[in-house]
Amino acid sequence: MEENKLVLFSIILLTLLPSFTSGYEIRAIDELQKVEKLSLRSAVGPESLAFDQSGRGPYTGVSNGRILKWQGNHLGWALFAFNSNHRDKDCGMNNNYEEFESKCGRPLGLQFHKATGNLYVADAYLGLMEVGPNGGLMRILASSANGVPFNFTNGLDVDQQTGVVYFTDSSTKYQRRDYLFAVLSGDATGRLMKYDPRTKRVTVIKSGLPYPNGLSISEDNTYLLVAETSPCRIMKYWLRGPKTGTTEVFAELPGYPDNIKRNAKGEYWVALSQAKLQLNGVSKQEPGPAGVSGSPSDHPAGVRLSKEGKILEVLYGGVSTTISEVEERNGALWLGSVILPYVGVYRA
Q: Is the Cβ–Cβ distance between 255 and 275 less than 8 Å?
A: yes
Residue 72 burial by CB count (10 A; 0-12/13-18/19+): exposed, middle or buried?
exposed
SS (H, E, C) 247-275: EEEEEECCEEEEEEEECCCCCEEEEEEEE
Angle at 128 between CA 334 and CA 95, to 5 degrees: 55
Give the per-residue pLDDT at 322: 82
What is the mean pLDDT of the segment spanning 329-342? Answer: 92
- Give the single-character DSSP code of 290: T
Structure confidence at residue 209 as a pLDDT band (50, 70, 90):
very high
Can you list the domains of the chain with their CATH numbers?
2-346 (2.120.10.30)
Distance CA(341)–CA(223), nearest Å, equals: 34
Query: What is the average pLDDT score of the chain?
Result: 85
User: According to the model, what pLDDT value does residue 181 have?
Assistant: 83
Examine residue 58 and say whether the peptide bond preceding it is cis (omega within 30 degrees of 0).
Answer: yes
pLDDT in tens, 115-157: 999 999 999 999 999 999 999 999 999 999 999 999 999 999 9
What is the pLDDT, as a whole number, of residue 94? Answer: 54
Whole-number pLDDT of residue 257: 96
Q: Residue 57: pLDDT above 90?
A: yes
Assess whether pLDDT exceeds 70 at residue 24: no
Which of the four pLDDT bands, split at 50, 70 and 90, describes residue 8?
very low
Closest to 50 (Cα-Cα) out of 95, 113, 101: 113
Smallest Cα–Cα separation from 302: which of 234, 207, 218?
A: 234
The DSSP-derived string for 100-135 is HHHHH--EEEEEEETTTTEEEEEETTTEEEEE-TT-
Determine the pLDDT at residue 168. Answer: 98
Q: 71, 81, 165, 78: which is closest to 115 by C-alpha?
A: 165
Residue 232, SS3 per DSSP:
coil
- Average pLDDT, stretch 299-319? 89
Summarised one tens digit per residue, pLDDT across range 77-124 is 999 999 998 888 778 765 455 678 888 999 999 999 999 999 999 999
* pTM over cut 0.75: yes
Interval 259-294: pLDDT, tens: 999 999 999 999 998 777 654 433 333 333 323 333
* Other Cβ atoms closer than 10 A to 24: 16
Q: What's the pLDDT tens digit per position in 239-260?
A: 999 999 999 999 999 999 999 9
- CA-nearest of 299, 277, 302, 278 to 287 is 299
Residue 120 and residue 158 in contact, taking contact as beta carbons nearer than 8 Å: yes
If DSSP codes are grouped into helix, strand and coil, which group holds residue 81?
strand
208 vs 278: which has the higher pLDDT: 208
Measured CA distances, 163 to 45, 130, 136, 199, 291 (Å): 28, 13, 21, 11, 44
Distances (CA, A) of 322 to 3, 279, 344: 11, 22, 11
Q: What is the pLDDT of residue 20?
A: 41
**Which residues neighbour 169 within 8 Å (Cβ) at sequence distance 6 or greater?**
145, 150, 151, 152, 153, 154, 190, 191, 193, 212
